[in-house]
């Protein structure tokens, strides 16, 4: 295996100019001078285009012209194929002149088709690319090349006609199937196709493409192109090459496969195609050489070229460099792979923003704004598709990587050796670093320059656009004040004492807290009164709990504002300890109300369980712009506020000397807060855990009873599951009694579909990197079955393993059997690969348990979704720390290449920065989840000549923020680091309770 240092040096090499889509700063290859000749290209939608090109041009020029015509970003998956003078279908070599490949250009039609078929559709990041792949599947199905069972074929066709004619209408569907032939013997399956089509109601063309590819990728003949041959015994076989290696077929049945990791060298000699295998370290035998006889030398060489290209595209980090020309004699083929590898394509698309342009679906009659297509802003999309726009159009469905399973062995730089009169190709091992393998999703919308509208309307219209969990914080000039350097010099000089900034932090967070209370007392209760759907005892409980607290903190905020105004003015009054002592003493008198805030969470859940209408009203309310985090979090804000008071008082007591006049008030107030917190601490932990379980219940499909009594959430996040298809991204949910794993498909609600449940009792965990050759991998064994998973880093692996061991210990100590959470009764004995019937049932409808439907509303910006797209994890300890680390205040924000600074009101909560124009705004204008980001001081190379600047960075996305003082700088750095740096692996259950 290539060392990471070597891979890093290779990645740092100059970018290859042999690219199929244009990178920033690059120009298209210049067309050589000379007369122009027309070249006809048949596209996948059966349309034909003519390109006028110089007869001296290389294949690269023509290919780039086709990609430019299609506005295709991920063109590297495709190629141009034509009949040569021997009437054999060959690929256009992008490095050679066209005139040396096509002898009769006027009579030749080149076909633009898919050349490289990835094992998972989610690595295709653009909707246009998925649409073209869907057209390729349609062609393969119609030609009989994509063979499968009748059930699978009917399901494939049902997705195609859903994309082309829309929702099921029996007469229209039957007539369309009579007029259009999608597959051989279609008439016999017409009823089954219509039955499947009926289940796709509401599915957009983009969703149909995704689900079509999702099913097609599971079929054995997907992307398979057979090349006739004979084995050593003279038996007729067919060879094919795929992402994982070389395959051998008899008829349409695969009889053998050779993974790239097992192949040492590919070569051909005349008609013989040779596969040299690596020695098996477990057996004392020499490496095998497999030999296949093909029809001719040209056929053999053509298959060898295809094998070389597939290996390079799927396995290499970057395009292999050309070998030096021979000094005297050139022996063997000079062919090499030209273009970017799949890894380079994925990174390039994720890290760059492209102008989204519409494209025509030639066969589709559906008139739709295609939320997943490269169209305009989210404001003009239908509501149930805008959530998918925010994730797929902006951030894209993260990919399940196509890594091979075997140990990679030694990996030398990719070279090509000349064999006698033919060619040898030593197979290079996978040079991608573990981190690169695990990078799945990137926050592309952070490069957009338009503000995404979260929801249209306030209290009257709840069904707006679902807010994206990674909404870009790029606000335009009209949204916030821009501070230039001249104005910056005239800014008011604040007091130098840190106690002033501690008091100002208290004031800023109090403003945010009062708005949180206002959301319950004004907004939410107003909705309940208007809809008249809540029982009176619930409304009475909410009023009696939050209205006294709202009144109390309104008065306290007024006093704080007056005190800070005096402090900033003449400076006669420079303390707040007396105000804090008074307010916490009054809060002690309101301890009953503080305790009832936990009760409100359980009461609201019980009422929603009894009233479907109330549950829908609450979910719709959560989609309003004012409710930018889960509703239950607002209900628990009074308990969180005690933690903030304790921090401020701790900081003031540390800052003041014992002789300071304010020290006595602060210590007395701190004692009261500690007393209150000690009483409420256990209730807070229990309710926080319950609130997270409620949130996860809404995020998950296929499970019920997540919020069972005694169950605790321990960790949730992404791991890669090792299977026959390679490493595949899965979302894992670790509870105190069970481990669930799921995947996120394209649904109207952005929920996770649970695949499997693993009981913790009796589970063993062991490291298995050496066993499987997969970095940071470990094996879970339970009930005589094993599951191999890999983390993205060593630290992530350690956190998962420790939490899993802790959870296993907790499960062993508990009494009673493990509850079955799966609604469809799939247990640990179910197969890792879902059947076609499961696929149809679980992927084409949201759920069948009555808890959710295709029309349900659902938050799409929960922590689980951010973990999925940032490929990270959080523990319950992180959630507890997040309740303690909340901050509000003004910050100046600057982009990497922008001029001047923008003044924003920023609220940090729930691992996210929420951006406002001023603190008086009712709802945030944009947000930036910080999971996966890093925070640091602005370096000298950043060329930021200002004080108190910190930098947020996630891959290529960089933001700079300025604070008004050194204290504020360190405070913001501290709380943001709590979201960007995972907590220590101390068990949160063993944390000491407050004194």
SS3 state of residue 942: helix
Neighbours of 820 (CB within 10 A): 15
pLDDT of 289 > 90? The answer is no
Strands 272-277 and 289-294: antiparallel
* pLDDT tens digits for range 807-851: 998 888 876 666 677 765 443 333 333 333 333 333 333 233 333
* pLDDT tens digits for range 490-531: 445 556 688 899 999 999 999 999 999 999 999 999 999 998
Average pLDDT estimate for 27-35: 65
What is the pTM (predicted TM-score) of this model? 0.60
pLDDT of 5 > 50? The answer is no
The CA distance from 22 to 793, in Å, is 32
* pLDDT tens digits for range 755-777: 889 999 889 999 988 777 788 89
* pLDDT tens digits for range 154-210: 999 999 999 999 999 999 999 999 999 999 889 999 999 999 999 998 899 999 999
What values do phi and psi take at 621, rounded to 5? -65, -35
pLDDT tier at 436 (50, 70, 90 boundaries)? very low
Of 220-234, 317-331, 867-881, 952-966, the one with minimum mean pLDDT is 317-331
Most confident segment among 51-60, 579-588, 740-749, 808-817: 579-588
Of 133-147, 524-538, 559-573, the one with minimum mean pLDDT is 559-573
Residues 834 and 842 sit within 8 Å (Cβ to Cβ): yes
The CA distance from 165 to 872, in Å, is 40
Cβ burial 948-957 (10 Å sphere, 16+ → b, else e): bbbbbebeeb
The CA distance from 487 to 489, in Å, is 5
Q: Return the beta strands (E) in 278-402 as ranges.
A: 289-294
Average pLDDT estimate for 939-948: 83
Residue 4, pLDDT score: 33
Residues 391 and 63 sit within 8 Å (Cβ to Cβ): no
The CA distance from 388 to 941, in Å, is 38
Residue 133, pLDDT score: 95
pLDDT tier at 408 (50, 70, 90 boundaries)? very low
Residue 483, pLDDT score: 61
Q: Return the beta strands (E) in 261-337 as ranges.
A: 263-269, 272-277, 289-294
Residues 419 and 412 sit within 8 Å (Cβ to Cβ): no
SS3 state of residue 986: coil
CB-neighbour burial class of residue 349 (10 A; exposed 0-12, middle 13-18, buried 19+) = buried
Of 109-113, 337-341, 896-900, the one with minimum mean pLDDT is 896-900
* pLDDT tens digits for range 820-830: 777 654 433 33
CB-neighbour burial class of residue 355 (10 A; exposed 0-12, middle 13-18, buried 19+) = exposed
Q: Is the pLDDT higher at 444 or at 361?
A: 361
Q: For all residues of the chain together, what is the average pLDDT?
A: 78
Nearest to 160 by CA among 141, 185, 174: 141
* pLDDT tens digits for range 635-659: 999 999 999 999 999 999 999 998 8
Residue 717, pLDDT score: 93
* pLDDT tens digits for range 91-129: 998 888 888 888 888 888 999 999 999 988 888 989 999
What values do phi and psi take at 423, rounded to 5? -125, 145
Question: How large is the angle between the packed helices 498-518 and 966-980, nearest 10 degrees?
Answer: 50
DSSP H or E run through 730: strand 726-735
Strands 48-54 and 89-91: unpaired
Nearest to 758 by CA among 778, 734, 723: 734
The answer for residues whose C-beta is within 8 angstroms of residue 12's C-beta and 6 or more apart is: none
DSSP H or E run through 962: strand 957-962
The CA distance from 911 to 981, in Å, is 11
Average pLDDT estimate for 541-560: 94
The CA distance from 838 to 152, in Å, is 11
- The region, left, alpha or beta by phi > 0 then psi within -120 to 50, assigned to residue 370 is left
Of 134-148, 432-446, 699-713, 879-893, the one with minimum mean pLDDT is 432-446
CB-neighbour burial class of residue 571 (10 A; exposed 0-12, middle 13-18, buried 19+) = exposed
The answer for residues whose C-beta is within 8 angstroms of residue 662's C-beta and 6 or more apart is: 499, 575, 576, 577, 578, 652, 656
SS3 state of residue 723: strand
**Widest pairwise Cα distance in the chain:** 101
Average pLDDT estimate for 540-560: 94
């Amino acid at each position: 295996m290539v060392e990471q240092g070597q891979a890093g040096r290779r990645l740092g090499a100059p970018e290859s100019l042999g690219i199929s889509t244009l990178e920033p700063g690059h120009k298209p290859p210049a067309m050589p001078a000379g007369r122009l000749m027309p070249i006809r290209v048949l596209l996948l939608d059966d349309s034909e285009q003519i390109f006028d090109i110089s007869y001296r041009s290389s294949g690269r020029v023509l290919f780039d012209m086709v990609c430019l015509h299609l506005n295709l970003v991920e063109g590297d998956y495709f190629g141009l194929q034509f009949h040569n003078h021997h009437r054999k279908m060959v690929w256009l070599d992008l490095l050679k002149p066209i005139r040396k490949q096509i002898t009769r250009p006027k009579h030749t039609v080149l076909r633009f088709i898919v050349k490289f078929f990835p094992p998972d559709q989610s690595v295709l990041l653009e909707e246009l690319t998925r649409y073209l792949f869907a057209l390729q599947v349609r062609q393969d199905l119609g030609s009989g090349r994509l063979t499968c069972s009748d059930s699978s074929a009917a399901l494939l066709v049902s997705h195609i006609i859903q994309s082309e004619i829309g929702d099921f209408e029996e007469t229209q569907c039957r007539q369309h199937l009579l007029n259009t032939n999608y597959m051989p013997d279609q008439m016999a399956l017409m009823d089954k196709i219509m039955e499947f089509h009926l289940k796709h109601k509401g599915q957009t063309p983009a969703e149909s493409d995704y689900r079509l590819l999702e099913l097609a990728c599971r079929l054995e003949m997907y992307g398979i192109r057979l090349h006739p041959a004979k084995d050593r015994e003279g038996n007729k076989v067919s060879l094919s090459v795929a992402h994982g290696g070389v395959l051998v077929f008899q008829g349409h049945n695969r009889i053998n496969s050779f993974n790239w990791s097992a192949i040492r060298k590919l070569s051909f000699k005349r008609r013989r195609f040779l596969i040299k295998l690596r020695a098996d370290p477990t057996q004392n035998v020499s490496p095998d050489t497999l030999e296949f006889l093909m029809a001719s030398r040209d056929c053999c060489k053509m298959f060898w070229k295809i094998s070389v290209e597939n290996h390079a595209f799927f396995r290499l980090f970057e395009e292999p460099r050309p070998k030096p020309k021979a000094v005297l004699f050139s022996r063997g083929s000079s062919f090499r792979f030209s273009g970017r590898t799949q890894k380079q394509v994925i990174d390039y698309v994720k890290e760059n923003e492209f102008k989204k342009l519409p494209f025509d679906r030639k066969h589709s009659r559906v008139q739709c704004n295609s939320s997943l297509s490269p169209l305009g802003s989210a404001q003009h999309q239908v509501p149930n598709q805008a959530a998918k726009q925010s994730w797929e159009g902006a951030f894209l469905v993260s990919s399940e990587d196509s890594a091979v399973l075997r140990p990679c062995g030694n990996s030398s730089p990719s070279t090509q050796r000349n064999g006698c009169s033919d060619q040898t190709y030593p197979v290079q091992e996978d040079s991608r670093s573990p981190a690169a393998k695990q990078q799945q999703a990137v926050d592309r919308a952070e490069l957009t320059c338009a503000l995404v509208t979260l929801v249209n309307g306030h209290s009257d219209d709840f069904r707006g656009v679902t807010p994206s969990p990674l909404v870009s914080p790029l606000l335009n000039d009209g949204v916030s004040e821009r501070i230039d350097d001249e104005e910056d010099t005239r800014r008011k000089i604040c007091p130098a004492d840190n106690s002033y900034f501690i008091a100002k932090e208290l004031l800023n967070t109090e403003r945010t807290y009062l708005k949180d209370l206002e959301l319950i007392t004004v907004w939410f209760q107003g909705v309940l009164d208007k809809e008249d759907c809540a029982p009176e005892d619930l409304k009475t409980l909410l009023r009696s709990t939050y209205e006294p607290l709202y009144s109390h903190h309104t008065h306290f905020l007024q006093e704080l504002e007056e005190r800070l105004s005096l402090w900033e003015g003449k400076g006669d009054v420079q303390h707040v300890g007396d105000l804090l002592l008074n307010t916490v003493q009054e809060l002690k008198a309101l301890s009953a109300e503080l305790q009832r805030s936990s009760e409100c969470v359980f009461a609201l859940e019980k009422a929603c369980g009894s009233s479907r209408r109330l549950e829908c009203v609450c979910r719709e309310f959560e989609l309003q712009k004012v409710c930018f985090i889960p509703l239950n979090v607002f209900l628990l804000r009074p308990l969180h506020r005690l933690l903030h008071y304790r921090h401020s008082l701790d900081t003031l007591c540390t800052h003041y000397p014992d002789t300071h006049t304010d020290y006595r008030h602060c210590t007395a107030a701190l004692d009261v807060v500690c007393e209150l917190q000690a009483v409420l601490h256990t209730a807070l932990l229990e309710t926080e855990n319950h609130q997270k379980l409620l949130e996860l219940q809404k995020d998950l499909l296929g499970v019920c009873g997540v919020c069972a009594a005694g169950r605790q959430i321990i960790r949730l996040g992404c791991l890669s599951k090792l299977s026959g298809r390679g490493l595949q991204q899965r979302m894992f949910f670790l509870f105190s009694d069970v481990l669930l794993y799921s995947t996120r498909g394209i649904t109207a609600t952005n929920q996770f579909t649970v695949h499997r449940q693993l009981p913790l009792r009796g589970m063993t965990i062991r490291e298995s990197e050496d066993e499987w050759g997969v970095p940071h991998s470990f094996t879970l064994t339970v009930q005589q079955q094993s599951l191999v998973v890999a983390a993205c880093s060593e630290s992530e692996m350690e956190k998962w393993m420790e939490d899993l061991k802790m959870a296993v210990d907790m499960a062993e100590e508990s009494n009673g059997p493990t509850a079955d959470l799966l609604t469809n009764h799939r247990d640990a004995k179910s197969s890792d690969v879902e059947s076609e019937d499961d696929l149809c049932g679980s992927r084409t409808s949201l759920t069948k348990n009555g808890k959710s439907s295709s029309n349900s509303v659902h938050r799409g910006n929960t922590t689980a979704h951010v973990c999925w797209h940032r490929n990270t994890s959080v523990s319950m300890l992180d959630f507890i720390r997040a309740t303690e680390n909340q901050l509000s205040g003004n910050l100046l924000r600057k982009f990497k290449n922008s001029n001047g600074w923008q003044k924003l009101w920023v609220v940090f909560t729930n691992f996210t920065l929420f951006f406002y124009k001023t603190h008086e705004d009712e709802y945030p204008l944009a947000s930036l989840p910080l999971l996966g980001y890093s925070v640091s001081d602005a370096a000298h190379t950043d060329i930021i000549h200002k004080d108190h600047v910190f930098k947020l960075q996630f891959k290529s996305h960089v933001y700079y923020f300025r604070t008004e003082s050194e204290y504020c700088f360190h405070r913001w750095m501290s709380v943001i680091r709590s979201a960007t740096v995972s907590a220590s692996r101390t068990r949160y259950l063993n944390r000491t309770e407050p004194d």
